[in-house]
Structure formats: structure tokens, C-alpha cells
Amino acid sequence: KAGVTQTPRYLIKTRGQQVTLSCSPISGHRSVSWYQQTPGQGLQFLFEYFSETQRNKGNFPGRFSGRQFSNSRSEMNVSTLELGDSALYLCASSRQEGLAVEQYFGPGTRLTVT
Amino acid sequence: LAKTTQPISMDSYEGQEVNITCSHNNIATNDYITWYQQFPSQGPRFIIQGYKTKVKNEVASLFIPADRKSSTLSLPRVSLSDTAVYYCLVGDGAAGNKLTFGGGTRVLVKP
């Protein structure tokens, strides 16, 4: 079974631009979550989508947004990029059995803002 | 979500057993305990998950005492490739999948 895939793997943008990252979950997984990882803040939760609806949201500004399509693929968008948005952006898809959840992470997209 | 506390770092040698203990004093009744492993510039990898007592898979064992206020991840006979950051998380899927990662434990395996 194919794992979680993320595209692109690396991206360089300049301040003020916007960026769209893509995530394809494991087949059959309906939940997709996004995380930001930086050396200073560690791994932080951005938001989660389930059946095309945002189910959970972290403490990030409105410049960070996302969506999920009917095939469970998800995109996240960051508008008006700032230097501090440079990070590894991780996507995870989930399998849930009752209250036990296993999340499977993709390789991430390394975003550099200059 | 319950807060977790784990050591910042641990050193070990090849072939030894590594035990990482995580404290989660305010774990809720429905919470599961999950451990992830992360290598630099890669996404975390699910290692093991448990609710109580002992869980074992081909990679690790997880020991959870009766009060569930802590858990210990045991990595048998580590190799250099086990050098990574290990995260302990607690939570359940009732409100969706929102993982709160702490600082993790940086394990360095030396030859």
C-alpha cells in the first residue's frame, strides 16, 4: 500500500508570495492533518480535514488555510509569506479504530522563504 | 489533550536496550499512548500504541503501569540507525486527529 505523498518536496519562495502544498493520503484514509515543524517551535498542528470538512484547527493565523477534496487529497495554502514561515510542512493521514488513531506522515515539504 | 514529559536526550551504545519513560499524569480514561520516531528532515513514523499493560511489535515494546500515568518505550538491541527523536503522545480520536507533540527525546546511539 502506498504511503502518504507530498508535493513538492522542496520549495523556495520570496516574502509576500503565496504557496500551495499538496498531500495525497493513504488509500482509504479519510482524515488528513497538517503540521508545521521548525527548529524553534517543534512540531505544531495546523489543521485537520475529514470528509472535506475542517474538523480541528490549531493556533495559526488566517494566512494558513486548507481544503480537502472528495478523493481525500488535501492542499494547504499560505498567503503573504513571511520569513518565519520557512519550515518543514508535514501531512498525515489517519486510520481510526474506535478511539485509537494511527497517523501516518508523509516526507514533508521543505519551504524556504527568502 | 494530556501533557507529556520525557527526557530531552539519551545516549546509548549499539546492541544495548534503550528505555524511554514518558510521564502523563493527567491522562484521560479514553486516551491512548502513542510513540513516534522521527529522523532529520523526515516525517514522524508511528512506532507503537497502547492503552494499558504491555504491547509489543516487531520494533518495540510499550509498558504501561496500572495507573497509566506513565509509559516506557523499550527499544531492544539498538543500532546506529535508531538514532532519532522519539515522541510520546496521549490522546483519543473522539474529537478528531489533533496531535500535540512535545519536545521529544533525542536518542543518540554510539558505536
In this predicted model, what pLDDT tens digit does every residue of A81-107 receive, in sequence order? 999 999 999 999 988 777 778 889 999
pLDDT of residue A56: 87
pLDDT of residue B94: 64
SS3 of chain B: helix, strand, coil, percent, to 5: 5, 50, 50
Coil, helix or strand at residue A85: helix
Band (B1; pLDDT cuts 50, 70, 90): low
Whether B82 has a pLDDT exceeding 80, the answer reads yes
Residue A58's identity, in one-letter code, is: G
pLDDT of residue B90: 87
Cα separation of A106 and A94, whole Å? 11
Strands A53-57 and A42-50: what pairing? antiparallel
Band (B102; pLDDT cuts 50, 70, 90): confident
The whole-number average pLDDT for the span A47-75 is 94
pLDDT, averaged across chain A = 93
In this predicted model, what pLDDT tens digit does every residue of B36-69 receive, in sequence order? 999 988 999 999 999 998 999 999 999 999 999 9
Q: CB neighbours of A54 closer than 8 A, spacing ≥ 6?
A: A47, A48, A66
- Chain B partners of A99 at a C-beta cutoff of 8 Å? 30, 32, 92-94
- Chain A partners of B86 at a C-beta cutoff of 8 Å? none
pLDDT of residue B101: 81
Q: Counting Cβ atoms within 10 Å, is residue B81 exposed (0-12), middle (13-18) or buried (19+)?
A: exposed
Band (A1; pLDDT cuts 50, 70, 90): low
The answer, for A110 touching chain B at a CB cutoff of 8 Å, is yes
For every residue of chain A, DSSP letters joined together read ----EEE-SEEEE-TT--EEEEEEPPTT--EEEEEEEETTTEEEEEEEEETTEEEEE-S--TTEEEEE-TTS-EEEEE-S--GGG-EEEEEEEEEEETTEEEEEE---EEEEE-
- Chain A partners of B55 at a C-beta cutoff of 8 Å? none
Cα separation of B86 and A9, whole Å? 23
In chain B, % of residues over pLDDT 70: 94
DSSP class of residue A26 equals: P
The answer, for B35 touching chain A at a CB cutoff of 8 Å, is no
The whole-number average pLDDT for the span B7-13 is 96
Beta bridge partners of A10: A110
B10 to chain A, closest Cα gap in Å: 18
pLDDT of residue B51: 93
Best CA proximity match to A22, nearest among A78, A91, A84, A83: A91
Contact B87 A43 (CB under 8 A): yes
The answer, for A81 touching chain B at a CB cutoff of 8 Å, is no
Contact B97 A103 (CB under 8 A): yes
The whole-number average pLDDT for the span A36-49 is 91
A15 to chain B, closest Cα gap in Å: 23
Cα separation of A71 and A77, whole Å? 18
- Chain A partners of B98 at a C-beta cutoff of 8 Å? 33, 45, 48, 56, 58
Is the alpha carbon torsion for A96, A99, A60, A11 positive or negative?
A: negative
